[in-house]
Structure 1
Amino acid sequence: MNWVQHAKRLADGVARPESRRPSPVAAVPRHKFVPRWWESTGDGIWVLRDGHSDPEAWLEAAYTNQTLVTRVDACHAERTLPEDAGIAISGTPTSSSTLPGLVVQMSRHAMIADDSTMLVTTGTGYGTALACARLGDDQVTSIDVDTVLVNMAKDRLALHGYRPQMAVCDITRQLPGTFDRIVATVSVRPVPASWLAALEPGSRLVTTIAGTGLILTADRTKAGGATGRIEWDRAGS
């Protein structure tokens, strides 16, 4: 399956044209991290799509700048069978592969340096792969509260040569270490105090505010607090 040209097209659409560094979006096979997903019919019903059953639709979905829902309530798309493609359920989205453009936006606002240590949220593992492609495995830690998601993402990442630190962790509680950057595609309100405790002075967090399309950045101060701002960019969907 020739995914490279699709990934390059996506990267060209979401990366800043003045960037001197090749976008990791062009190098990471997003479709491999989302083999199945739930597609909304627009009336609260979600239909299961299986990539291997329709490769053209798989590439189109994976390399379009959109969020792909991978869990509705407790129903993991990847824990279904290929023959389940087309089944429909009702419920609330609870996990997804965040649209690549938002991941790129948030990483840009994080002002990542080559030597940064970075905490990211896991989801399908796609955003973690982008972070590893940018920094290297040993500088990336990926967490999620769902053990199933973490294990599936860990296996996918390893298949593509990425072996970051992975942990099952509630992001609103104590985090597994200290970091130069925290980039959380999981929306929160308010920002957990544990995030500041996990940041070194001068380090930065980036997240989105739950219930809004707002991107928040905040820098840890030497006094132990933080100075924050709402960025002009807005989170997509």
Structure 2
Amino acid sequence: MSLINSYSQSLPQQSSSASNTSATTKSSVQTNTTGTTTGNPFLDGIRLPEESAIPESKDQMLKQEDFFALLSQQLSMQDPFKPVDNDQMIAQMASFSTVDGISNLNDEILNLNTVMSSSQALQASGLVGRKVLIPSDTGAISTESSEIKGVISTPSAIESITVRVEDESGQLIKSFNVDGSKGGNIDVTWDGLDKNGDPAKAGSYAIKASGKVDGTSQDLAVSTYAHVTSVSLGTVATGAILNLRGVGGIKLSDVLAVSET
């Protein structure tokens, strides 16, 4: 009888021990499942890294809502016996509104500049195929245009102006004289022939002019005409760009005059 009672009393203890073991196992499994490690070096090595929450970048610009939030916080923490002066509060609100208005005005100005640049390029497209006078003494001759026209600016009347035509290396191609007795802007044309009367090869050439001013030889400013082949939009800062044959690009604002041919 004592053996039977002893055996029967030991059953609950085994059941309790098994229950504790099961609970421990489940707890261990849950802990390993939700934890960052499993205790097994191999499994820990192949475990995918947990995704880390990357905070989104926040706009650092203070807006009107932020100002009112700060103002509300200030009012809630101020000394009731020393309230904020109404004039100071109104001045702060007016200053913030002014800054916000200036920011919006800048955005509108940028949009207006973009629209004006496009409109300017559209108007400049009417110059394609025509010749414009640019503040440069360098012109180009080609099969389409075998001569270079320009304008010599004189400070006063000059009896005779010496014109020198030089190639890109600075070699003299031809020299001739023009009448400058009228003063002011004197038209000049090089027919594209060298000093031997042979046509010069296509390329860029510089027209230099000099004359005696008050008895002293002086270099004179020369502007040349160039053929407009196309127009580029450019940027807000530069505006429309005219692409000139054999010369390159030039801003529309730098054009001195427009010729019919």
TM-score range (shorter-chain normalised) is under 0.3
What TM-score results when the alignment is normalised by the length of structure 1? 0.19
Structure possessing the higher radius of gyration over alpha carbons: 2
* Structure 2 length-normalised TM: 0.18
Higher relative contact order (CA 8 A, sep 6+): 2
More helix by share: 2
